[in-house]
Structure 1
């Protein structure tokens, strides 16, 4: 399996295998990384690449000392199933109305 890279120009983390690329798209917002969407091409489905990609992204976020806002349902579900990443989730601000 190839390494996950941060394509800052496209604002996405990428994992390429067999000439196909899975990715997690993101945006920076108020010092946090908003994880918008996870995409795994059909040719790569069922190989655990989505989970491997998300794990690598969250490990990189931890390394950068950042927090995430998981807008992507797949990533939110991954974090629920892997509580060791819950500390990376930005808490909603109480002063928002």
Structure 2
């Protein structure tokens, strides 16, 4: 599978595959919290693990940079519920 990139100019993580782009949009605040606001996977890529790869790479990047995460997007929150090992990255006020 292709590599996930952090497109800082557009404030989103991107995974380009087969001419399509899956995205996870975020807002990074001054306190070092990544607020994930929206994820989108093109229909042609659904069911191929693209969103999971996108989130795993984004969370790995956040952890490497010492950032915390805030799952505003319902998909991101449900992903963390299914993969509780990522709860360690949750910003204090966004723990569940």
Q: Which whole-Å deviations, capped at 9, do the CAs of 1:10-55 have from their partners, x for residues lacking one?
A: 1100000001000100011232111011100011111110111111
Which aligned runs of 4 or more in structure 1 are off by greater than 2 angstroms? Answer: none
Where structure 2 has 5 or more consecutive residues not aligned to the other structure, the ranges are: none
SS at match of 1:92: helix
Structure of larger gyration radius? 1
Residue-pair matches, total? 93
Q: Could you tell me the TM-score, scaled by structure 2's length? A: 0.92
Q: Write out aligned runs for 1:73-84 (5 A).
A: 73-84=74-85
* Structure 1 segments unaligned to the other structure (5+ residues): none
Q: How many Å separate the matches in 2 of 1:58 and 1:28? A: 13
C-alpha distance in 1 between matches for 2:49 and 2:88 = 23
- Superposition TM-score, scaled by structure 1 size: 0.91
